[in-house]
Structures are given as structure tokens and as C-alpha cells.
């Protein structure tokens, strides 16, 4: 089956809204120094748009008969080990770990 273009376009639109809000906070470079509540509002909006984008895309894929796993394995080690022209190895000492274990609760 083909993907519902209307759902896909909606997912893309919401993804872009999420991306630009996140990008703005990074580019603004003060992480809301002058107005932290506004920075948090923008980041919250980014999360909301991103979540809605994922929901629309999952809906479109399901409608097209694609079985979507609950957890999508990004295979991060493919990209962090032996990277670049110098084939730099993965260094666990510089890995930023979730100090509270919250990420595990999402899956």
C-alpha cells in the first residue's frame, strides 16, 4: 500500500516545526539566559511538535500496512565507532550517560 500523502505531509510539517524550534534554541546560544521561561516554552513546543509528528508518521505507516516496532534501534555503534577518515574508535569515557535512568523508562 502507498503511504497516505496527507498524513505524511502533516508529519513532515510538524517535524519541521519541532526541528526549527530546537535549532533556534541551539543557535540562540544562551539557552534562554535573558528569558529562561521563554526558552523552556519553545523547547516544550518542540517536544510537542515532535511527538505529534511521530504520531502522524506512525499512523501513516500503520495505515499503509507497515509493522512498526515500539522501539526503533538506531544502531548507534555503527556511527560512533571507527568514524571518519581517521577511523576514530568509540571512547566510553566521553559518552554522556543518562544519570537518572529515565531513558530506559521510555521503552
pLDDT in tens, the chain (107 residues): 899 999 999 999 999 999 999 999 988 877 677 888 998 999 999 999 999 999 999 999 999 999 998 888 888 888 899 999 999 999 999 988 899 989 888 77
Are 53 and 19 spatial neighbours (Cβ–Cβ below 8 Å)? Answer: no
This prediction has a pTM of 0.74
Q: How far apart are the first and last CA of the chain?
A: 28
Amino acid at each position: 500500500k502507498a503511504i497516505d500523502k496527507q498524513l505524511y505531509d502533516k508529519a513532515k510539517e510538524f517535524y519541521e516545526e519541532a526541528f526549527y524550534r530546537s535549532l533556534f534554541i541551539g543557535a540562540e546560544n544562551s539557552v534562554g539566559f535573558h528569558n529562561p521561561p521563554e526558552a523552556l516554552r519553545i523547547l516544550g513546543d518542540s517536544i510537542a511538535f515532535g511527538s505529534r509528528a511521530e504520531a502522524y508518521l506512525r499512523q501513516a505507516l500503520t495505515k499503509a500496512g507497515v509493522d512498526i516496532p515500539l522501539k526503533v534501534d538506531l544502531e548507534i555503534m555503527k556511527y560512533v565507532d571507527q568514524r571518519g577518515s581517521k577511523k576514530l574508535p568509540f571512547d566510553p569515557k566521553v559518552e554522556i550517560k543518562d544519570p537518572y535512568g529515565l531513558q530506559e523508562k521510555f521503552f
